[in-house]
Amino acid sequence: MSSSTAIPGVEHRDPQYFGYYAMLQHQQNMLQDNVRTSTYRSAILLNAPKSFQSKTVMDVGAGSGILSYFAVQAGADKVYAVEASGMAKKMQKLVKAAGENGKNQFLKDKIEVINAKIEDPDLPIPKVDTIVSEPIGVLLFHERMLESYIYARDHYLKPGGALYPSHGGIYLAPFTDATLWSETMAKARFWDQPSFYGVDLSALYKDARDEMFGMPVVGHFDPRSLITTPTFLDRYDVNFSTITTKEMQDITIPFKWTANYTGLMHGVAGWFDLTFAPPPYDQPNPEAAGTTIEMSTGPAADRTHWQQVRFLFKEPLAVNATQVIEGWMRCIVNDMRSYTIYVEVTLDSTQLSDPAKMDKEQFLIANHPLRRRGVWELHEQTYNYSFNPGYMPEHQPEYSCLYQTEEQIDAATKNSSADTKSFDAMYSYDEFVN
């Protein structure tokens, strides 16, 4: 696929997109995400002296205006709250009432609501010291609001200005989930019927499989279903202070994992984290820095409204413990305010193709016994809420059909015995019960 292909616009999706965010119930859903809201507030207030006190601030995609209100709490002189949806009128109503009957006295004359897209020309906004925004979607970049964040940075941020958040990181990992795979297959099997009220539906069975397995599954999942858990070193870093719009429109994320277990790999899971750090970003100076705040949306972290996303293969891949899994995910923008996702994984490095030379038409045709490929439209999401982290009984890998090598079992047993001996040496029975 040529990188010179015209980049799809999103204008035809804007009425639906902005109509969604004009509704108070959707803003409430985000506000009630305690991890999201409290993290942003901590990042803003803890960096007030460096980035907010007596500063001019812009809030891009302000929504309910909560980040603008936090910026004023942190001492901002002036906040330009830019919001394209009808939520701007509701925000204006709250701001206009500031000071009446003692309500929100701290907001009075501090916020100017701009009901426009940040890309609109000739907005009445000067260069600002700090930009705050929550431009994040599923897998970090769904909804393509990050492009607006970058546009605001390039057109309105003073040199050396602050960005909150400053970085994002994407994590990918192989997972197993026979139940999810079987449920997805069962949906497709409906169309594999030779006589549904006397009608043969089977001509649509392949289309059904393509559709069901082409829908990214959004929802929280059990972190114990991961065949290997990525570390910070596996993180694909997105530096919001330097990344360009063009780079955001065609992203390739390479990965290389070593399987911790033997089992069936049903697909690739993904999530992200955010970093809120004060400038300077080009040459970090710890002595001049403020407070860095981090937030994760991973399966082992506290729940957020973003959840995680999983991409199911039509055909699982059998993997042995200690085996190396290589591959890549290429994410290309589409005109649905989202991305088309291409994934390739292989157990044979000689079969790993070059994502830059990927041919969209041939991508799913050329296959190999030790390689799996898939294509998903990130906006065509389905949801799975079967995992309840409040109920996590004692668990062994084999309960998830993941199997350890003899060496791993022996090592775990040896460590367990050593821990027990160490505990026994420290405490007698009488000391423990008393």
Indicate if 25 and 174 belong to the same structural domain. no
Residue 337 has pLDDT above 80, yes or no: yes
Burial 267-292 (b: 16+ CB within 10 A, else e): bbbbbbbbbbbbbebeeeeeeeebeb
Question: What is the CATH classification number for the domain harbouring 326?
Answer: 2.70.160.11
pLDDT at 416: 64
> Residue 135 class from Cβ within 10 Å (0-12 exposed, 13-18 middle, 19+ buried)?
buried
Higher pLDDT, 308 or 6: 308
Does one domain contain both 322 and 222? yes
Predicted local distance difference test score (pLDDT) of residue 428 = 44
Q: What is the pLDDT of residues 341-394, one digit of tens each?
A: 999 999 999 999 999 999 988 899 877 899 999 999 999 999 999 998 766 667
Question: d(Cα 112, Cα 120) in Å, to the nearest integer?
Answer: 17
| pLDDT beyond 90 at 109 | yes
What is the DSSP pairing of strand 78-82 with strand 56-60? parallel
Q: Which tens digit of pLDDT belongs to each residue from 272-305?
A: 999 999 999 887 665 556 899 999 999 999 999 9
Q: Is residue 370 part of a domain?
A: yes
| CA pair distance 142, 378, nearest whole angstrom | 7
Is 38 found in the same domain as 86? yes
Read off the amino acid at residue 31.
Answer: L
Are residues 417 and 390 part of one domain?
A: no
Q: Rounded to an integer, what distance in angstroms lies between the CA atom of residue 380 and that of residue 402?
A: 30
Contacts of 168 (CB under 8 A, 6+ apart): 136, 140, 146, 237, 238, 240, 272, 273, 274, 275
Domain membership flag for residue 309: yes
Query: 416 and 298 in one domain?
Result: no
- Spatial CA neighbour of 307 closest among 250, 210, 387: 387
**Which stretch of DSSP H or E encloses residue 406?**
helix 406-426
Averaged pLDDT score across all residues of the chain: 91
Spell out the residues 6+ positions from residue 73 whose beta carbon is closer than 8 angstroms to its own: 44, 45, 106
Whether residue 140 is contained in a domain is answered as: no
Confidence of residue 408 (pLDDT cuts 50, 70, 90): confident
Q: Are residues 38 and 117 in the same domain?
A: yes
Q: Are residues 356 and 428 in the same domain?
A: no
In a domain, 416, yes or no: yes
Residue 160 lies in a domain: no
Q: Within a domain: residue 189?
A: yes
Residue 398 confidence (pLDDT) above 60: yes
Using the predicted structure, report yes or no on whether residue 306 has a pLDDT greater than 70.
Answer: yes
**Domain hosting residue 428, numbered range:** 407-434
Residue 141 in any domain: the answer is: no
283 vs 129, residue with greater confidence: 129
Helices 87-96 and 24-31: crossing angle in degrees, nearest 10, is 70
Query: Is residue 195 helix, strand or coil?
Result: coil
> Which pLDDT value is given to residue 295?
98
Q: How many domains does the chain have?
A: 3
Neighbours of 170 (CB within 10 A): 21
In a domain, 157, yes or no: no
Question: Are 240 and 368 found together in one domain?
Answer: yes
CB half-sphere exposure, 211, CA atoms < 13 A: 11
- Provide mean pLDDT across the span 107-130: 97
Residue spans of alpha helices (H) in 193-331: 205-213, 245-248
